Amino acid sequence: MKKLNMLVNTLDKKSHINPEIYGHFSEHLGRCIYKGIYVGENSPIPNTNGIRNDVIEAFKQIKMPVLRWPGGCFADEYHWRDGIGEKSSRPKMVNTHWGGVTEDNSFGTHEFFDFCEMVGCEPYLAGNLGSGTVEELADWIEYITFDGISPMADLRRKNGREKPWKLKYLGIGNENWGCGGNMRPEYYADEYRRYQTYCRNFSGNELFKVACGPNSDDYNWTEKLLDIVKDWHTNAISLHYYTVPSGDWSKKGSATDFTDEEYYKTISSTLYMDKLIKKHAAIISRYSDKIKLIVDEWGCWYDVEEGTNPGFLFQQNTMRDAIVAACNLNIFNEHSDIVCMANLAQAVNVLQALLLTEGEKLVKTPTYYVFDMFKTHQNNDLVYSFAGNSEINGIPMLSQTASVSADGKLTLTLANCSLDEDIEISCRISGISPKSVSARILTNEVHSCNTFDAPENVKPEDYSAELSGDMLKLTVPKCSVVSLIVE
Ligand code: AHR
């Protein structure tokens, strides 16, 4: 048993934790949209306007704040006009990035915005800069947000939506250094300036414009982009970083069958997120004190499950992924001065998914439960916390953050990354007079996962922590995530 002392000072507020840090991502990829989120109105699976009811409920439960759509790489091939109007006459297309399957466009703009309304989350659109036109993107914004008489607003009304929707978050292109057009930063930056000019603020709607930022540690991209884009053109830049256990994309490894060494490599790779944010933030600060960072793709990327379509990126999700999720969410909280949104890839049936579906069955993954346990950080202020940490296989054993809500409740989230040793924590809390504590724990053997036959194998449970005066004492078992609310 490792003994660690901690200190939390609720009066030392650092930055506001934007709820969107707990955001998600849904792409027309594999079974994320079709069969995952959308089953169609005629499906025997319980649905509302074609959207699975169980998915809506699961997303509401974790207070999903924002959902990115329609991609990913798919976004720069997506033509929004194909996804409106009578479904039977919507044109079909080939989803060239993801399995070469036929996309029938039955899930389009109206379905996505209705879905966000049902969940109660902000929509975040990724616009097509790679293969689209300025006019096409400008028209999409007019279609969605214009309240008056105009060709696009009239078309929206003809398709059944009288009132415009609100759209805040708009990404202008996706991975334009790669699948979004293989551009050089200078070329993309000029294109970005042109495209964003015509993305107007209609009818009181105010866009928050996101430029395509770097692929992990491509600091040159950030530098060149900001040099040209400047901060009066953009509110944020994106960052994409995936955790690949070995760091080698040709040998990513199995989601469920891994050694202890591979586990520690995974955690070490995921903690690299902290360094990436710090270094990109340092570059941003040289250009602007207004531009934010949006980590709009993150999570673990393993080999696909045996027997599944390699283009569908379907993988299982274990306690290892829960530890990865907890570490990243703690990192995002810690950097909430610059990180205003993050989007796990992806919401259903793809990569480090929240939910897995098979016919009418639905499984909540260990990662899902981490979002449920961390949700009370949303809209809080990050406060000072310090843990006398200890190293294990080159990584810190404990990951932690603390935040307070407007009404003074403290949320503390902890992950013990060790596979062998429990941690006994003694935490002094200053700034409030704590009266009660409630805790939850998610723990199991590191390879454990939820399956369609055993859907509740990994699930949070109530946990106990001892409060005496301003001292909080608890054990954080090996390979566990613990969340506490102190009032
Ligand atoms: O999330 C899967 C893919 O990863 C996205 O489509 C793309 O943006 C990234 O390369």
As a whole number, the mean pLDDT across the chain is 97
From the list 175, 306, 424, 461, the catalytic residue is 175
Chain-centroid distance, C-alpha 110: 22
Ligand 1 pocket member 213 (CB < 6 A): no
In the chain the domains, ranked by start, together with CATH numbers, are 2-10+383-486 (2.60.40.1180), 18-379 (3.20.20.80)
Residue 202 has what pLDDT?
98
From the list 77, 142, 297, 334, the catalytic residue is 297
pLDDT(247) > 90: no
Atom of ligand 1 nearest to the CA of 174: 8
Distance 73 CA to ligand 1 centre (A): 6
Q: Is 77 a catalytic residue?
A: no
Distance 72 CA to ligand 1 centre (A): 5
pLDDT band at 283 (very low <50, low <70, confident <90, very high): very high
Residue 17 has what pLDDT?
98
Across the range 405-433, mean pLDDT stands at 97
CA count, 13 A, side-chain hemisphere, 14: 19
pLDDT(206) > 90: yes
Atom of ligand 1 nearest to the CA of 72: 6
Identify the residue whose C-alpha is closest to ligand 1 atom 7: 72
Ligand 1 pocket member 345 (CB < 6 A): yes
> Residue 154 is encoded by which pair of tokens?
């009239």
Contact assessment for residue 473 and residue 402, using Cβ atoms and an 8 Å cutoff: no
pLDDT band at 231 (very low <50, low <70, confident <90, very high): confident
CA distance linking residue 317 with residue 367, whole number of Å: 7
Q: Percentage of the chain with pLDDT > 90?
A: 98
Contact assessment for residue 301 and residue 252, using Cβ atoms and an 8 Å cutoff: yes
In the block, tokens 């607003």 appear at 153
Extract long-range pairs of 457-460: CB within 8 Å, 24+ residues apart: 458/318, 458/319, 458/322, 458/366, 458/369, 459/364, 459/369, 460/369, 460/372, 460/373
Q: Residues 51-86: pLDDT tens digits?
A: 999 999 999 999 999 999 999 999 999 999 999 999
Judged by phi (left if over 0) then psi (alpha if -120 to 50, else beta), residue 359 lies in: left
Q: Residues 312-334: pLDDT tens digits?
A: 999 999 999 999 999 999 999 99
Residue 169 has what pLDDT?
98
Cα of first residue to Cα of last residue in the chain, in angstroms, is: 28
CA distance linking residue 484 with residue 487, whole number of Å: 10
Q: Residues 1-43: pLDDT tens digits?
A: 999 999 999 999 999 999 999 999 999 999 999 999 999 999 9
Amino acid letter, residue 474: L
**Residues 295-330 as b or e (16 or more Cβ within 10 Å = b):** bbbbbbbbebeeeeeebbbbbbbbbbbbbbbbbbbb
Distance 121 CA to ligand 1 centre (A): 22
Across the range 348-367, mean pLDDT stands at 98
Q: Residues 472-481: pLDDT tens digits?
A: 999 999 999 9
CA distance linking residue 390 with residue 413, whole number of Å: 17
Identify the residue whose C-alpha is closest to ligand 1 atom 2: 72
CA distance linking residue 221 with residue 329, whole number of Å: 25
Cis omega (within 30 of 0) on the bond before 70? yes
pLDDT band at 246 (very low <50, low <70, confident <90, very high): confident
Chain-centroid distance, C-alpha 306: 26
Atom of ligand 1 nearest to the CA of 74: 6
Pocket test for ligand 1, best of 68, 295, 297 (most atoms within 8 A of CB): 297
> Residue 438 is encoded by which pair of tokens?
């409630």
Distance 90 CA to ligand 1 centre (A): 25
Q: Is 297 a catalytic residue?
A: yes
Atom of ligand 1 nearest to the CA of 175: 8
Residue 265 has what pLDDT?
96
Identify the residue whose C-alpha is closest to ligand 1 atom 3: 72
| 2-16/423-430 β-pairing | parallel
Ligand 1 pocket member 127 (CB < 6 A): no
Residue 232 has what pLDDT?
80
Pocket test for ligand 1, best of 29, 175, 300, 354 (most atoms within 8 A of CB): 175
Across the range 163-171, mean pLDDT stands at 98
Q: Percentage of the chain with pLDDT > 70?
A: 100
pLDDT band at 389 (very low <50, low <70, confident <90, very high): confident
